[in-house]
Every structure is written in structure tokens, then in C-alpha cells.
Amino acid sequence: MTVEHRRRIDILLDPVFLSDLDTAPLPELRDRRRMADEVETELSFYRRLLHGRIDLLAFELNRRDGDETRSLIEALPEILGAGERAGGQQQRVPHVLAPDLPEERRRHIDRVLEDDFLSRLPDTETQELFNIQRVLADTEQEISTSRKAVQRVFDTIQAEIMRRYREGQVDPDELPVG
């Protein structure tokens, strides 16, 4: 007996996931919305990790071109702080557990983020850094595209839940606590 393990994003983006929204029980809609929110948060986290690496790599390339005189260590707080939200808002950090999978089943993002180019930055040829930059940018674009698709799923489910409240199909006093 073979059990197919589907990634949550594949489940979310399968058209079947949204096919019965008008008849699905409210608790199930809330569960689907929660899953979409969790996957979106995970994708946002991956984007932030990619952006950090992209920013570090861009700094190093600028330093090599002579456009930057500071060392990477000197500029590190500024580089990594560039993505912080104004007003000191707290950002959610997802609890991401990646299972140990054989190389052929590991996700592309896991392989990209595992690259240790930062630890070998001083010894890496400039052309290789440009190649790494391209891979990071392409991966960020893929993650962004997936994230937008997941946000559309979330919005579709949210709209159905709101419709039910507007039309009186659900009692607002039945809102879950917590």
C-alpha cells in the first residue's frame, strides 16, 4: 500500500480545495483558512530568509566593485535591519519543521537556503556570486508567486465565511474564542 504525501501548498492550490466552499461546514472552512494562513506565514518566512541572503550578497558584490568601503561585518546590522517593520511591530515567526527527506524529495527552497555561500564568501569567485544571486532571485520569485496564490485561497475562504455572517447563516455569538 502506497501512501501519497502531499505538501500542504499542493493541497491548498488544488482547485478541489475551494470547490465546495458554499456547502462546507463552518468549522471546516475555518480549518482550511487556518491552513492557508499557516502556509502563507511559512512562505513569508522563507522570503525573509532569501531577502537577507540577497541583501548580504548584493553588499558583497558592491564592496568588490568598490562602491562600498565598509566590511560586511561593519554593515551587517544595517543590512539585516533593512527589512524591519516601522513602529516596532512584532513579526510572526512560523514554526517550520522540515522532515529529513532523501535529496530527490527535498524542496528547492530547502536546498537553496542550505547553501553555505556566506561562510565561504571571501573565497568565492565573483562570477559564482552572480550565479548564486540569480538562483536566490529566481527562488524568491517562485516563493512570492506561491505566496500570492495562497493569499488568494485565504481571501476566497474568508469571503465565504464573511458572506455567511452577512446573510445570517451563522450567529456571530458562535465565534470561536482564542
What radius of gyration do the chain's Cα atoms show?
21
**Would you state the pLDDT for residue 109?**
81
**Sequence-separated (6 or more) residues with CB below 8 Å from residue 153:** 12, 13, 17, 18, 36
pLDDT in tens, 139-164: 999 999 999 999 999 999 999 999 99
**Would you state the pLDDT for residue 7?**
85
When pLDDT is cut at 50, 70 and 90, the band that residue 106 belongs to is low
